[in-house]
């Protein structure tokens, strides 16, 4: 019997014939930590009695959630992490380098890897053909010390995409549509595996957006095959040697198959306060928005900023709508400057935030006032997510966000994009 | 035998509601952090909860962020078990790693304020207030081993690594 991508990768890394439902102990290729979950990890690492990280695992630390620090307590946490990384020779990405998931995808993730991170959006790396899974700080500490973890091999739900995304409709709309379809626990404990005739039309940046949000349907992993698209991306990053082709077996067994004709998708928005509370953007016309956020690990890549800049070029934001732009990495910010996008955002009345998580989790850099509504390209809209339980968060694509910033109300971007 | 009061919650309680991101600066000061447990789900919870009480929830409890601080502050607030119709996977694993039992059962018949008695060994929840008995799903073997040792760190101190042989 053939294997799904999850079964193949876990078989490779555990040295066993891993099948859905079984428990395996697997090698970990990469384990990474961020600044709000890292300190607890390091204390548990010490408590567990480890001297140093296992030689077999690559470890990386990122200062991205509180970057730069809004207070002394988080600054002390940063010192703690910085010192550990330095003393143990771990990869380290300081304030301003960008969000962990973006850097992992750009520089570290390889097809066929088992990647763990103490952040639920670790699933983003599934866009690179890795089995990437979020865990808590203690599990992260043990993976750091042993170079291994235990996992139940998940059943896979196959998502077969056909056609291609129409003009004005993006990967974010596709994944919001899927989450609305299967609900916030529709894929709990499962791997979402993406394939289909339409797959070659989906770029790596788009795969990262889709994989990033797979956890919002409860998924353990969101995995794409490693194909020609992956190979070209790795070559452009100077990492051609990291390529390995990886596809599911034709006779792999899936728990369920969902077919999506991408040509029929439309711009989607997730309404407060759950990610599966979705509706077409067009149905929410008239909803006033006080803050727009474009960026984050979900939609902070150069391609995302390009889409938003195209809509905003030569125009100004609605006076009652703040516009925050948060690029996902330093590299992206640099390229966005070179391409003129940053000028466009500033001339539109926008604010450029440091590469990092920005206002996504309510820590700093754009906390909402009571009663305010925000349209964000991030991945979560739970009550209180952006720092105020009396505020309302809508999620959408960079195009929807840019159109909304111009009009001051939720706007289907196809009204502003020439779709002929 | 665990005995305590049920604090009833609905479905889809996220880890953002359990321990909001705006308190991230307290994550290295756990006693202070724990004062904000469940704050965006029920601001009064922390004033009313007593040692030995239970959280009883609907479906998909603990969805969202992987922050282990979520089950941690719940445990520090005195909660001795979480009962829910379903639980998000990272939260479930984190709770077990901390030695906090998470029991999957039909919670519809349990009301806020009910007095419960729970026997983990026999798999029985007795709602003393409405005279009902509910069973809960068997916890996966490796997680039960971790839970019985009191959490992942004590488990590893005893076993050295992950022991997934069938008699572990």
What total number of domains does chain A contain?
3
- Judge if B150 and B101 occupy the same domain: no
Residue-wise pLDDT tens digits, A6-30:
999 999 999 999 999 999 999 999 9
Name, in order, each residue with C-beta under 8 angstroms of A97's C-beta and a sequence gap of 6 or more. A62, A63, A64, A103, A329, A330, A355
Is pLDDT at A420 greater than 80 in this prediction? Answer: no
Whether residue A367 lies within 8 A of chain B, CB to CB, comes out as yes
How many percent of chain A have pLDDT more than 70?
Answer: 99
Same domain, A276 and A411: yes
Q: Which residues of A touch B65 (CB under 8 A)?
A: 119-120, 361, 380
Residues of B contacting chain A (CB within 8 angstroms): 12, 14, 16-17, 20-22, 24-29, 40, 59-60, 63-69, 86, 88-90, 93-94, 97-98, 140-142, 151-153, 156-157, 161-162, 164
| Mutation to test the B interface, candidates A67, A121, A382, most B Cβ within 10 Å | A382
Domain boundary among A151, A179, A199: A151
Nearest CA in chain A to B99: A138
Instruction: Output the average pLDDT for chain A.
Output: 97
Q: Please say which residue of A231, A265, A299 terminates a domain.
A: A265
Q: Is residue A18 part of a domain?
A: no
* Cβ-based contacts of B162 with chain A (< 8 Å): 25, 146, 148-150
B9 and B80 inside one domain: yes
Please write the tens of the pLDDT for every residue from A290-308: 999 999 999 999 999 999 9
- Name the burial class of residue A418, with classes exposed (0-12), middle (13-18) and buried (19+) by CB atoms within 10 angstroms of its CB: exposed
CATH number at residue A180: 3.40.1060.10
A201 and A134, same structural domain?
no
Residue A4 lies in a domain: no
Judge whether A355 and A96 are in contact, CB under 8 Å. yes
Chain A residues within 8 A of B141 when measuring between CB atoms = 23
A371 close contact with B: CB closer than 8 A: no
CA angle A298, B63, A122 (to 5 degrees): 40
Q: How many structural domains comprise chain B?
A: 2
Q: Are B142 and B126 contained in the same domain?
A: no
Same domain, B8 and B86: yes
Task: Give residue A91's domain range.
Answer: 23-151
B158: Cβ contacts below 8 Å, ≥ 6 apart:
B149
CA-to-CA separations, B131 to A142, A289, B113, in angstroms, rounded: 43, 50, 14
**Cβ–Cβ contacts within 10 Å for residue B48, how many?**
11
Residue A297 pLDDT? 98
* Same domain assignment for residues B152 and B113: no
Residues A206 and A195 in one domain: yes
Q: Which of B89, B93, B164 sits opposite A23 (nearest CB)?
A: B164
- pTM of the predicted protein model: 0.97
- Whether residues A138 and B68 touch (CB distance < 8 A) is answered with yes
Per-residue pLDDT of chain B (168 residues; tens, 9 = 90+): 999 999 999 999 999 999 999 999 999 999 999 999 999 999 999 999 999 999 999 999 999 999 999 999 999 999 999 999 999 999 999 999 999 999 999 999 999 999 999 999 889 999 999 999 999 999 999 999 999 999 999 999 999 888 887 543
Q: Do residues B43 and B119 share a domain?
A: yes
Q: Which residues of B135-166 are buried (b: 16+ CB within 10 A; e: fewer)?
A: ebeebeebbebbbebebbbebbeeeeebeeee
Partners of A152 on chain B (C-beta within 8 Å) are: 140
Same domain assignment for residues A298 and A409: yes
Residue B167 is predicted with a pLDDT of 41
Residue A292 lies in a domain: yes
Clarify whether residues B153 and B132 are in a common domain.
no
Q: What is the mean pLDDT of residues A166-193?
A: 98
Q: How far is CA A123 from CA A14, A64, A213, A386, in A?
A: 19, 17, 8, 21
- Final residue of a structural domain among A131, A151, A171: A151
Please, what is the Cα angle at A366 between A360 and A370, to 5 degrees? 100
**Residues of chain B found within 8 Å of residue A362, distances taken between Cβ atoms:** 16, 20-22
| A280 and A408 belong to one structural domain | yes
DSSP A43-63: HHHHHTT-SS--TTSEEEEE-
- Whether residue A188 sits in one domain with residue A142: no
Mutation test of the interface with chain A: which of B21, B37, B45, B143, choosing the one with the most A Cβ atoms within 10 A? B21
Q: CATH number of the domain at B25, please.
A: 3.20.19.10
pLDDT digits (tens, 9 = 90+) for A353-401: 999 999 999 999 999 999 999 999 999 999 999 999 999 999 999 999 9
Claim to verify: residue A169 and residue A145 sit in the same structural domain: no
Indicate whether B146 and B69 sit together in one domain: no
Strands A373-376 and A291-295 come out as parallel
Residue A261 to residue A240: CA distance in whole angstroms: 32
Interface check for A146 against chain B (CB to CB < 8 A): the answer is: yes
pLDDT at B164: 81
A235/A275 same-domain check: no
Residues A280 and A334 in one domain: yes
Same domain, A137 and A59: yes
Q: Are residues A93 and A222 in the same domain?
A: no
Are B167 and B109 within one domain? Answer: no
| Same domain for B159 and B130 | no
d(CA A211, CA A219) in angstroms, rounded, equals: 10
A6: in domain: no
Give the pLDDT band (50/70/90) at residue A419.
Answer: low
Same domain, B9 and B73: yes
Structure-token match 């979402």, residue found: A192
| Domain, as residue range, for B97 | 2-137
Question: Is residue A105 in a domain?
Answer: yes
Rounded average pLDDT over A300-321: 98
> From the list A23, A24, A382, which residue is nearest B14 (CB)?
A382
Asked if A232 and A371 sit in the same domain, the reply is no
What distance in Å separates residue A139's CA from the closest CA in chain B?
8
**A:B CB pairs within 8 Å:** 146
A207-238 per-position pLDDT tens digit: 999 999 999 999 999 999 999 999 999 999 99
Residue A137: which H helix or E strand, with range? helix A137-146
pLDDT band at A417 (very low <50, low <70, confident <90, very high): confident
Interface test with A, best of B11, B19, B22 (most A CBs within 10 A): B22
Query: What ipTM describes this predicted complex?
Result: 0.96
- Measured between beta carbons, which residues in chain B are less than 8 angstroms from residue A73? 25-26, 28-29
Same domain, B80 and B113: yes
Given CB atoms, is A138 within the 8 Å cutoff of chain B?
Answer: yes
Contact A188 B161 (CB under 8 A): no
Give the closest of B28, B60, B97 to A138, CB-based: B97
Q: Which residues of B touch A122 (CB under 8 A)?
A: 66
d(CA A103, CA A98): 7
């Amino acid at each position: 019997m053939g294997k799904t991508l999850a079964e193949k990768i876990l078989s490779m890394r555990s040295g066993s014939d891993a099948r859905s439902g079984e428990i395996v102990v697997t090698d970990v290729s990469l384990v990474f930590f961020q600044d709000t979950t890292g300190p607890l990890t390091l204390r548990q690492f010490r408590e567990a009695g480890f001297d140093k990280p296992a030689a077999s695992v690559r470890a990386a630390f990122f200062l991205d959630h509180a970057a730069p620090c809004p207070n002394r307590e988080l600054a002390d946490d940063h010192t703690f992490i910085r010192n550990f990384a330095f003393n143990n020779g771990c990869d380290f990405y300081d304030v301003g380098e960008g969000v962990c998931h973006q850097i992992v995808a750009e520089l570290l993730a390889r097809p066929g890897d088992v990647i763990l991170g103490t952040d639920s959006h670790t699933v983003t790396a599934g866009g690179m053909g890795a089995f990437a899974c979020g865990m808590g700080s203690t599990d992260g500490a043990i993976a750091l010390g042993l170079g291994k973890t235990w996992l139940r091999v998940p059943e896979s739900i196959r998502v077969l995409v056909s056609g291609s995304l129409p003009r004005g409709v993006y990967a974010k709309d596709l994944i919001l549509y899927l989450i609305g379809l299967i609900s916030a626990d529709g894929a709990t404990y499962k791997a979402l595996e993406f394939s289909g005739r339409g797959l070659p039309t989906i770029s790596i940046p788009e795969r990262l957006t889709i994989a990033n949000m797979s956890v919002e349907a409860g998924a353990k992993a969101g995995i794409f095959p490693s194909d020609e698209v992956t190979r070209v991306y790795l070559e452009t990053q100077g990492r051609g040697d990291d390529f390995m082709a990886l596809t599911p077996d034709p006779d792999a067994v899936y728990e369920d198959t969902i077919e999506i004709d991408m040509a029929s998708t439309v711009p989607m928005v997730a309404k407060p306060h759950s990610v599966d509370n979705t509706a077409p953007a067009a149905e929410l016309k008239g909803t006033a928005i006080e803050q727009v956020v474009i960026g984050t690990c979900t939609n902070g890549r150069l391609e995302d900023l390009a889409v938003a800049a195209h809509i905003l070029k030569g125009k100004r934001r609605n006076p009652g709508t703040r516009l925050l732009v948060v690029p996902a990495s330093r590299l992206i910010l640099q390229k966005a400057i070179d391409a003129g996008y940053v000028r466009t955002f500033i001339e539109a009345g926008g604010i450029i935030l440091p590469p990092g998580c920005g206002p996504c989790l309510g820590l700093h850099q754009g906390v909402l006032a009571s009663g305010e509504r925000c349209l964000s390209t991030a991945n979560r809209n739970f009550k209180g997510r952006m720092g105020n339980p009396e505020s309302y968060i809508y999620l959408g694509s960079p195009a929807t966000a840019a159109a909304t910033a111009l009009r001051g109300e939720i706007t289907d971007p196809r009204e502003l994009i020439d779709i002929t | 035998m665990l005995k305590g009061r049920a604090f009833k919650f609905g479905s889809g309680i996220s880890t953002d509601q359990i321990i909001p991101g705006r308190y991230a600066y307290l994550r290295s000061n756990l006693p202070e952090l724990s004062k904000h447990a469940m704050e965006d789900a029920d601001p009064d919870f922390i004033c009313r909860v007593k040692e030995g009480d239970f959280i009883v929830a609907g479906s998909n409890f603990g969805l969202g962020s992987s922050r282990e601080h979520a089950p941690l502050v719940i445990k520090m607030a005195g909660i001795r078990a979480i009962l829910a119709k379903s639980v998000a996977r990272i939260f479930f694993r984190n709770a077990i790693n901390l030695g906090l039992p998470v029991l999957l059962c039909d919670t519809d018949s349990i009301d806020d304020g009910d007095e419960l008695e729970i026997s983990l060994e026999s798999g029985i929840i007795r709602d003393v207030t409405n005279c009902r008995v509910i069973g809960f799903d068997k916890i996966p073997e490796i997680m039960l081993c971790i839970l019985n040792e009191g959490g992942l760190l004590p488990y590893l101190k005893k076993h050295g690594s992950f022991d997934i042989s069938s008699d572990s």
